[in-house]
Amino acid sequence: MKTVYCFLTVLAPFVLAKAPLVNRGVSDGIADNYIVVMKKADSKTLQAHYRQIHTTSQRINDGNQGVVRTYQVQDFNGYHIECDNATLESIRNNPGVDYVAQDGRVTAQSAIPTNVPRSGPTANTWGLGRISHRDAGIPVYVDENNAPTFAYMLDTGIRVTHQEFGGRAIWGQNFITGSQNIDDNGHGTHTAATVGGNTVGVDNSTKLIAVKVLDQNSSGAWSGMIAGIQWAVNDAQSQGRITRSVINMSIGGPKFQPLNDCVKSAVDAGMTVVAAACNYGVDACTYSPASAPEAITVAAVDISDTRPNWSNYGACVNIFGPGDNIYSAWKDSDTSYQVLSGTSMASPHVAGLVTYLFSREFISGQTEVNNRLIQLGTENKVQNPNGSPNLIAFNGNKDEL
């Protein structure tokens, strides 16, 4: 089976128009760090470019790292480089380079923490009830049991020993330099348990895989997110489970084309990708990964089916999920819980529903999954959708059909 790597390259320079440089000078930019996206080329050409750029950047010896990491996800080829302006210009003049984007910061999309820690799985999990009933206000969750599936959680990590996971959560990969394989923020544990916790999860049979791309402050970089996607796709392919796997990204930042392109390649490889719409009360099309056409982008509703004013909206949204005052597992101990709000909380409700549909209905592929979510979704209940599809995620509870 084809593996997914992430890497880049260099070609003989011709006098051609420079590759565009985008995202430079934005407030969240990381100085001297760039994502270089390559045009389609064979692996020999790409490897030649990689060697050339690596040698050049090392020779300059100006304190920059040079090529930090290479990427290949299906047809997406590129690399992350830390370099000076002269090296950057030589890269842009290479005819094999499609475009270059300055790297930047990305954050978890958990907003308005309610700060209500609890000691056990006894609180109101209204979001689970919402996605298994047509009407709001019914707290009982109705589900069915079914076949193994996998959720790759690109987040702050997971407290894998928490009682909600029952041994189904494992560590996959850590892309935060110098950090331990722990969730030192809590966001990742919370979202993972919403996907697949024993008592607070949508699908309590799925296996959860921690891919740490955010630090203790729930902050990361686009370069790390792309690396996380690449790792997840490679791992799912190598294990022969990509059609039964989902990536959840309760993460966002201003629209970043390299990430959107990488999401497209991950979906082309067979992965399903779910993303938070983000929490700025604006058009989701201005944020990534929310704006990636291939992602299933999730906006939030509260317990009365109203879109909170902090939830993004618009044509890039695919569906709504419960996102206000969501009770789920927390990092502090194996029995700790917390209530949080945000599209970060809405996205894992849908990611869990995706694995649920994989295992119960044996569907696969982003298009088939998205079509099924639309077919099942509860229509015309959202108050103030503001141009978004008026559709709330629903799990197909037969008593409600």
* CA–CA dist 108, 276 (Å, integer): 9
291-313 pLDDT per residue, tens? 999 999 999 999 999 999 999 99
Beta pairing, strands 97-108 & 219-221:
antiparallel
Residue 257: its pLDDT value, please? 97
What is the architecture, at CATH level 2, of domain 21-104?
Answer: 2-Layer Sandwich (3.30)
Residue 141: its pLDDT value, please? 60
Residue 393 — pLDDT band, cuts 50, 70, 90? very high
Where is average pLDDT lowest: 4-8, 125-129, 134-138?
A: 4-8
Report the mean per-residue pLDDT for the chain: 88
In percent, the amount of the chain with pLDDT more than 90 equals 73
Could you tell me the residue ranges of all domains in the chain? 21-104, 109-400
Based on the residue annotation, tell me whether 187 is a catalytic residue of this protein: yes
* CA–CA dist 372, 394 (Å, integer): 10
Asked whether 249 and 350 are in contact (CB, 8 A), the reply is no
Q: Is the pLDDT of residue 12 over 50?
A: no
Based on the residue annotation, tell me whether 162 is a catalytic residue of this protein: no
297 vs 54, 256, 294, CA distance in Å? 37, 15, 9
Residue 117: its pLDDT value, please? 47
More confident residue, 161 or 139: 161
Residue 14: its pLDDT value, please? 39
17-60 pLDDT per residue, tens? 899 999 887 778 999 999 999 999 998 899 889 888 877 777 77
Q: Residue 211 has which token pair?
A: 């891919």
Q: Scanning the structure block, which residue is given the tokens 């088939």?
A: 368
Based on the residue annotation, tell me whether 155 is a catalytic residue of this protein: yes
For the segment 365-369, the average pLDDT, to the nearest whole number, is 91
Q: Is the pLDDT of residue 398 over 90?
A: no
Catalytic residue among 57, 328, 344, 359: 344
**Residue 63 neighbours by CB distance under 10 Å:** 8
Residue 79: its pLDDT value, please? 95
**Residue 375 neighbours by CB distance under 10 Å:** 9
Asked whether 318 and 389 are in contact (CB, 8 A), the reply is yes
CATH of domain 109-400: 3.40.50.200
Catalytic residue among 155, 183, 215, 324: 155
Residues whose CB is less than 8 angstroms from the CB of residue 320 and which lie 6 or more positions away in sequence, other chains included: 298, 299, 300, 301, 307, 346, 382, 385, 388, 391, 392, 393
pTM, two decimal places: 0.88
More confident residue, 90 or 27: 90
